[in-house]
């Protein structure tokens, strides 16, 4: 039991050696892979601009904090809120649908948050599996904005398929508002 707890709470990445028949295999991915998955499914970012947006998400450049801001007239022409500080670099990467969004700067924040939260959840789940945890519950983040599926499944005991169930059924926007809680049996 001590080994399970030690594996669950250790900070270093550990190699997981569980036979495929007994547990799901969770492939460790870099956060950039999660960013790319989000970009590929995002209708608001132009495909040809994925490289520059990836640099923004990786904090190499900024598309929202530059001195190259649109004037109020330019924002009105495009149909953007003239009170928002919007850069020309941001407008250049957005699709028409992205420009119609109420908060264009929020699109990049949503992509970043969803990717990083998903990675953290996947990594935590992988550690739990590596520690031999077999039962889990879904827990609310507490803000009440969970989707119907998440609300219906909070505190219900589930098996090692919980991660896949969340990926299939959760419709929380822009990212899952619940977290996976391992059940440690003594």
List beta partners, residue 153.
none
- Closest by Cα among 34, 26, 28 to 129: 26
Residues 91 and 143 grouped into a single domain = no
Residues 90 and 159 grouped into a single domain = no
Mean pLDDT, residues 93-117 taken together: 94
**Count of structural domains, the chain:** 2
CA 153 vs. chain centroid, Å, equals: 20
Domain annotation covers residue 11: no
108 within 8 A of 57, measured Cβ to Cβ: yes
- Which residue is listed with tokens 């953290």? 120
Domain annotation covers residue 4: no
125 preceded by cis ω (within 30°)?
A: no
Q: What is the pTM of this model?
A: 0.79
Domain annotation covers residue 160: yes
The pLDDT tens digits of the residues spanning 136-184 come to 999 988 888 899 999 999 999 999 999 999 999 999 988 888 999 999 8
Separation CA 114–CA 153 (nearest Å): 21
Domain annotation covers residue 159: yes
Which residue segment(s) compose the domain that 176 sits in? 133-186
Domain annotation covers residue 27: no
DSSP at 181:
E
* CA angle in degrees (0–180, nearest 5) for 113-117-120: 145
The pLDDT tens digits of the residues spanning 31-85 come to 999 999 999 999 999 999 999 999 999 999 999 999 999 999 999 998 998 999 9
């Amino acid at each position: 039991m001590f080994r399970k707890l030690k594996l669950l709470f250790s900070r270093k990445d550990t190699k997981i050696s569980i036979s495929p028949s007994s547990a799901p295999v969770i492939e460790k991915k870099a956060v950039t892979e999660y960013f790319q998955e989000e970009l590929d499914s995002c209708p608001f970012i132009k495909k040809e601009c994925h490289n520059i947006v990836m640099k923004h998400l990786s904090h190499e450049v900024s598309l929202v904090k530059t001195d190259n801001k649109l004037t109020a007239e330019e924002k009105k022409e495009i149909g953007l809120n003239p009170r928002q500080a919007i850069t020309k670099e941001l407008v250049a990467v957005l699709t028409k649908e992205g420009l119609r969004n109420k908060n264009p700067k929020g699109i990049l924040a949503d992509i970043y948050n969803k990717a990083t939260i998903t990675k953290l959840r996947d990594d935590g789940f992988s550690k739990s599996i590596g520690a031999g945890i077999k039962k889990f519950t879904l827990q609310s983040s507490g803000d009440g904005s969970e989707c119907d599926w998440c609300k219906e499944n909070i505190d219900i005991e589930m098996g090692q398929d919980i991660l896949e169930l969340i990926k299939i059924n959760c419709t929380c926007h822009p990212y899952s508002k619940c977290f996976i809680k391992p059940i440690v049996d003594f």
